[in-house]
Amino acid sequence: MSKKCFGIVILVLLVITGGIYKFIIQGSISINTDERTAIHLNYEERDLVLAEMRAFLTSIQQITKGISENDMQRVADHAKKVGRAAQGEMPDTLMAKLPIRFKQLGFDTHTKFDQLVMDTEDLGDSNHALSQLSILMRNCVSCHAAYRIVGSNK
């Protein structure tokens, strides 16, 4: 292979690596004044992410109510609403702007809701469900402690 071809291959690999880092790992971010990572989204994308978070919160409230009333069907029904199947299709442009850790927390949270559904249906144990909910909410707390969603017209 000639030096020129080798140089072109290296250049292409660097561009691909940079693209992967920017669009899959890093996302569209900056550090906010409160030390959280600001994720920069357009208003439509921001609304989509915040709607998903509100759905988590609504389900958590209903799951908590179900646990307190020992209504395990309510727990399963509301956990199912925000499991992996509820993720829907996120636009690729939005996914590219989200940092990898944020995406991992989101996927893991949906998965934990699915596990709550399965265990609730299999075990019917409100104490176990409450323990799972506590573990699941660590994702919510760590995400809100680490990230801030910033909207713009871009």
- Per-residue three-class SS string for the chain: CCHHHHHHHHHHHHHHHHHHHHHHHHCCEEECCCCCEEEEEEHHHHHHHHHHHHHHHHHHHHHHHHHHCCCHHHHHHHHHCCCHHHHCCCCHHHHHHCCHHHHHHHHHHHHHHHHHHHHHHHHCCHHHHHHHHHHHHHHHHHHHHHEEEEEECC
For the chain, the domains span: 3-152
User: Is the predicted pLDDT of residue 11 greater than 60, yes or no?
Assistant: no
Give the chain's mean pLDDT. 87
45 vs 87, which has greater pLDDT? Answer: 45
Tens of pLDDT along 15-38?
555 454 444 444 578 777 788 999
Which CATH fold would you assign to the domain 3-152? Four Helix Bundle (Hemerythrin (Met), subunit A) (1.20.120)
Tens of pLDDT along 97-130?
999 999 999 999 999 999 999 999 999 999 999 9
pTM of the model: 0.79
> Using 50, 70 and 90 to split pLDDT, how confident is the model at 82?
very high
